[in-house]
Amino acid sequence: MADTLGILGRKLGMTRIFSSDGSAVPVTVIQAGPCPVTQVKTVEKEGYNAVQLAFDAAKAKNVGKAMKGHLAKAGDGLFRTLREVRLAAPAAVTVGDKVTVEHFAAGDIVRVTGTSIGKGYQGVMRRWNFGGSKDTHGCEKVHRSGGSIGHNTEPGKVMKGKKMAGHWGNERVTQPSLLVVAVRPEDNVILLRGCVPGPKNGLVMVRK
CATH at 196 = 2.40.30.10
Query: Hey, how many other C-beta atoms are within 10 angstroms of the C-beta on 45?
Result: 8
Residue 192 lies in a domain: yes
Same domain, 16 and 108: yes
Are 157 and 60 part of one and the same domain? no
Specify whether 144 is located in the same domain as 162: yes
In a shared domain, residues 71 and 123: no
pLDDT-wise least confident of 84-93, 119-128, 190-199: 84-93
Please indicate, yes or no, if residue 1 is contained in any of the structural domains.
no
Q: What is the mean pLDDT of residues 179-197?
A: 95
Q: What is the pLDDT of residue 91?
A: 84
Q: Which domain holds residue 19?
A: 6-118+172-207
Higher pLDDT residue, 134 or 193?
193
pLDDT of residue 93: 87
- pTM of the predicted protein model: 0.83
145 pLDDT higher than 60: yes
* Number of domains making up the chain: 2
Strand partners, 61: none
- pLDDT greater than 80 at residue 88: yes
Q: Which residues have C-beta within 8 Å of that of residue 127, sequence separation ≥ 6?
A: 163, 165, 166, 168
Same domain, 82 and 139: no
Q: Is residue 37 part of a domain?
A: yes
135-153 mean pLDDT: 87
Is 83 within the bounds of a domain? Answer: yes
pLDDT at 3 over 80: no
Per-residue pLDDT, averaged over 27-48, amounts to 93
Question: 32 and 62: one domain?
Answer: yes
Rg, the chain, Cα only:
23
**% of the chain beyond a pLDDT of 90:** 75
Does 132 share its domain with 183? no
Residues 85 and 184 both lie in one domain: yes
